[in-house]
């Protein structure tokens, strides 16, 4: 069978990248393919949500630039929580500039993303120089890159030839590019890329700004290796409700993976 139809553990053999390997190991260890997107705008709230969902996730996704009271202590506390609960971190930075600029954006500035984020992502629109630039910073640190091959939003231009050309760019940088943000399995049947899929929620079709949702079962069935859930989890009122919701998505995501393996 195609690599993605095999177990997460067995797919370790297809990856040299340390971040990709750590993620596959964490998924298998915790039996969780859930990534929670923590899109809240204060330090206290970020830490509260992460502590609540930590036991249920393999990966925490951040938008670090939305945190009003960001400081280095937030990064220290995030790292402590990642050890306490055993998860990796993905800064959803969506780099989109020339190589020289993304080198600076990834390594410097207030957020110093490369120093704490196991994964980040980039648009392919500038061409391969963006990958070369990010790799020059990230590879020595053992980081991994995801290319945005598709988006979940209505009217996205990332489709068809653009998506295909993005997959081709990934093929040419396999040591650093470990997979895609996408809505379905991409690449040939004999290739193994990690597919991380946002736009996942139970019981909602979308929001008023173009977001489109599918269920965990639907996206895993189409090839997602990791489901990314934001408001569906952190949108619940109270830490206990958030914790329970994360557990629910974890179970749904894992059941869908087991189902896919049977197919
Ligand atoms: F690349 C993408 C995409 O195609 N769709 C997305 O929704 C990224 N996202 C992110 O996933 C988005 O920026 C949010 O951080 C998150 C989805 O949040 P939601 O609350 O589950 O809609």
pLDDT of 263 over the 90 cut: no
Contacts of 175 (CB under 8 A, 6+ apart): 16, 17, 135, 139
Contacts of 212 (CB under 8 A, 6+ apart): 152, 153, 154, 199, 205, 206
- Cα 64 to averaged position of ligand 1 atoms, centre (Å): 14
Could you tell me how many residues make up the chain? 263
pLDDT band at 1 (very low <50, low <70, confident <90, very high): confident
Residue with tokens 């569906």: 232
Note the pLDDT of residue 14: 97
pLDDT digits (tens, 9 = 90+) for 66-92: 999 999 999 999 999 999 999 999 999
pLDDT band at 259 (very low <50, low <70, confident <90, very high): very high
Mean pLDDT of all residues belonging to the chain: 98
Would you say 105 is a known binding-site residue?
Answer: no
- Is residue 92 annotated as part of the catalytic site, yes or no? yes
pLDDT above 90: percentage of residues in the chain:
99
Q: β-strands 177-181, 144-148: how paired?
A: parallel
**Active-site option among 94, 222, 236, 251:** 94
Exposure b/e, 119-146, CB count within 10 A at least 16 = b: bbbbbbebeeebbebbbebbbeeebbbb
pTM of the predicted structure, to 2 decimals: 0.98
- Cα 213 to averaged position of ligand 1 atoms, centre (Å): 10
Ligand 1 atom closest to 158 (CA): 4
- Cα 109 to averaged position of ligand 1 atoms, centre (Å): 24
Locate 121 and state its tokens: 């992502």
Residue with tokens 């930075």: 93
């Amino acid at each position: 069978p195609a690599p993605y139809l095999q177990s997460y553990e067995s797919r370790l053999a297809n990856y040299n990248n340390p971040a990709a390997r750590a993620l596959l190991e964490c998924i298998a260890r915790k039996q969780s393919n859930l990534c929670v997107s923590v899109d809240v705008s204060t330090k206290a709230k970020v830490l509260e949500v992460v502590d609540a969902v930590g036991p249920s996730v393999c990966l925490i996704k951040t938008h670090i630039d939305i945190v009003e009271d960001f400081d280095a202590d937030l990064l220290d506390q995030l790292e402590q929580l990642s050890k306490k609960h055993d998860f990796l971190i993905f800064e959803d930075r969506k780099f989109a500039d020339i190589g020289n600029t993304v080198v600076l954006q990834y390594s410097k500035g207030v957020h110093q993303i490369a120093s704490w984020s196991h994964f980040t992502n980039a648009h392919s629109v500038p061409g391969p120089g963006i990958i070369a630039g990010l790799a020059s910073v990230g590879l020595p640190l053992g980081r991994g890159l995801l290319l945005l091959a598709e988006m979940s939003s209505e009217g996205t231009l990332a489709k068809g030839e653009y998506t295909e050309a993005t997959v081709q760019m990934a093929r040419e940088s396999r040591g650093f590019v470990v997979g895609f943000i996408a809505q379905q399995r991409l690449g040939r049947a004999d290739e193994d890329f990690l597919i991380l899929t946002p736009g996942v929620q139970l019981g909602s079709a979308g929001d008023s700004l173009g977001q489109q949702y599918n269920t965990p079962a639907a996206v895993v069935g189409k090839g997602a290796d990791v489901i990314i859930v934001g408001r569906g989890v952190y949108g619940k009122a109270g830490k206990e409700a958030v914790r329970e919701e994360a557990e629910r998505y974890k179970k749904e995501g894992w059941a869908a993976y087991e189902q896919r393996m049977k197919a």
